[in-house]
A and B are shown apart, each in its own frame.
Chain A
Amino acid sequence: DAKTTQPTSMDCAEGRAANLPCNHSTISGNEYVYWYRQIHSQGPQYIIHGLKNNETNEMASLIITEDRKSSTLILPHATLRDTAVYYCIVTSYNTDKLIFGTGTRLQVFP
């Protein structure tokens, strides 16, 4: 699986967009970008995934660069409940396992 690099931590004001970057320069053609998050004292929660096109769902948007070497998870209007560790994972769609790194700790402040 391709390795990902994420900032250790980020801050965001409540109501503003939170943009979480992820570098995955060694991603291969059949690998997807997945995002999970883990709110304190809970298990991780799936957010979104994509291959090469930008994706949007009720939780977030995923912007993948044209060369697919990096991506950004966007929470359009961050709330205090979005404070969590966000994991960017790159893996084959047919994989059985997810490899979690250390993620980005997002702190949303009032």
Chain B
Amino acid sequence: GAGVSQSPSNKVTEKGKDVELRCDPISGHTALYWYRQRLGQGLEFLIYFQGNSAPDKSGLPSDRFSAERTGESVSTLTIQRTQQEDSAVYLCASRAGGRRADTQYFGPGTRLTVL
């Protein structure tokens, strides 16, 4: 597959548990983004990785949220001690090198439900 993939597609967890969401970007894409989309709302930027630069974490809502990316490959978004307000679709996008805004390719998202 040539697109961005995310796993799991759906995750149901209990309040207080930790969850890990995975994103496999398009091969060769140096930029990777995480967004959150609550039901009926627009996308909220969470975090951005570009090559070996320090990630832009300005969108992370709290210190319970963290993300890692090894090189230009897989990224993992971790949410610790989940709360019900964390329920949302978490979208990952990747972009080829350079600094352009028109070529973000999105994955299908992970739907997180916190009971």
Contacts and interface: CB of A to CB of B under 8 A. Distances in A.
A-side interface mostly: loop
Interface string A80-106: 000000010101111111111111000
Given A43-B4, A43-B91, A95-B99, A100 B43 contact: yes
Given A32-B101, A97-B56, A44 B43 contact: yes
B31 interface: yes
Interface in B16-36: 31, 33, 35
Contacts of B45: 97-99
Given A94-B99, A95-B101, A102 B41 contact: yes
Given A43-B4, A43-B107, A87-B42, A98 B101 contact: yes
Contacts of A99: 45
A58 B95 CA distance: 21
Given A96-B56, A97-B33, A97-B45, A43 B101 contact: no
Interface residues of A, number: 24
A46 interface: yes
A49 B102 contact: yes
Interface of B: 4, 31, 33, 35, 41-43, 45, 48, 50, 56, 91, 93, 99-109
| Shortest 7 CB-CB contacts between residues of A and residues of B | A43-B106, A100-B43, A94-B99, A100-B42, A102-B42, A49-B102, A95-B101
Interface of A: 32, 34, 41-46, 49, 87, 89, 91-103
